Amino acid sequence: MDNRIWTVLDLLRWTTSYLKDKGCDSPRLDTELLLAHALGCTRLDLYTGPDRPLTRPELDRFRGLVRERAARHCVAHITGGREFHRLRLHTPAGVFVPRPETELLVEQVLAATQPDERFLLLDLCTGSGNVAVSILAERPAAVGTAVDISPVAVRTAADNARDAGVSDRLNVIEADARDYLSRATETFRFVTCNPPYVPTGEWDGLPPEIRLHEPREAVDGGPEGLDLVTGIVPLLERVLVAGGIFLMEYAGAAQTPTVRRLLASAGFVDIEIGKDLAGEDRFVCARRSE
């Protein structure tokens, strides 16, 4: 960028082309999100004032954001936030950025409950707290516990719970999921989990946004991608009430047979596989036998 006066429209056009050349998958959307963040406005505002010139501080701020995106930091880490199931969540660097497909876990719990129903929820590998916070935000009588091994994730989940107005109903705990399940004394109607599930051998082929900037412990699930899952499934009977529901996201069809076997061996019934919008196996829903 030179020293001429840059308008909103100029920057939308130039930066979209620049980020496309840098290999970003959604350069126009990325540009809109970064520019709106730099200007403190909405994406719609960009198009209602396309001829507005940027001040020098605004332009410098935007340039810094674009440099980070060109280095393949994900937009949610750059801006510190991400939309997820009707909420705006904090997503600082060091916390796994929630993906749209994970909203399926939230929707399953909401579909199985009434708006005023009281139930206990346990969310393992909570990350930003996106699943637990989203559910509690729409079920005001529900109470939850969220568990993650990462200190920064625990802090972020607590911040998101506070901002969503559910911190009085969500207990956020720093712990390994297996350790927590081994010593838990409370029982829950629902247990949700979005574990690390990418096989280690696929790590080098992941997009730079994940491989270089996401916390590896939240992504790499071991040789088959199911190391943590194998450890937690046998322990679920300790925390699920009879007839309670376990919901988990996983990598896809290659893992489906193992996921089914693990759950069946642990005494789960009504094991159902759900697909994402692309038609891929994405989550499992199973009921603890009564």
**What is the rounded average pLDDT of the residues 198-225?**
96
- pLDDT higher than threshold 90 for residue 171: yes
Exposure on the CB side of residue 260, measured as CA atoms within 13 A: 13
Task: Provide the pLDDT for residue 26.
Answer: 96
Residues whose CB is less than 8 angstroms from the CB of residue 105 and which lie 6 or more positions away in sequence, other chains included: 131, 192, 194, 247, 248, 249, 283
Task: Provide the pLDDT for residue 219.
Answer: 97
Task: Provide the pLDDT for residue 43.
Answer: 95
How far is residue 85's CA from residue 136's CA, in Å, rounded to a whole number?
12
Residues 264/223, Cβ–Cβ less than 8 Å: no
Task: Provide the pLDDT for residue 4.
Answer: 84
Length of the chain: 290
**What is the rounded average pLDDT of the residues 109-130?**
98
Task: Provide the pLDDT for residue 1.
Answer: 55
Do β-strands 170-174 and 240-249 pair in parallel, antiparallel, or remain unpaired? Answer: unpaired
How far is residue 142's CA from residue 149's CA, in Å, rounded to a whole number?
24
Average pLDDT of the chain?
A: 96
Letter string b/e over residues 31-68, b meaning 16 or more CB atoms within 10 A of that residue's CB: bbbbbbbbbeeeeeebeeeeeeebeeebbebbbebbeb
How far is residue 35's CA from residue 43's CA, in Å, rounded to a whole number?
8
- Binning pLDDT at 50, 70 and 90, where does residue 213 land? very high
Q: Which residue has the tokens 């935007």?
A: 62
Exposure on the CB side of residue 92, measured as CA atoms within 13 A: 11
**What is the rounded average pLDDT of the residues 258-274?**
97
**What is the rounded average pLDDT of the residues 49-72?**
96
Q: Residue 32 carries which side chain, given as an amino acid letter?
A: E
Reported pTM: 0.93
Q: Quote the percentage of the chain above a pLDDT of 70.
A: 99
Task: Provide the pLDDT for residue 183.
Answer: 96
- pLDDT higher than threshold 90 for residue 79: yes
Task: Provide the pLDDT for residue 290.
Answer: 82
| Structural domains of the chain, ranges and CATH numbers in brackets | 8-71 (1.10.8.10), 92-288 (3.40.50.150)
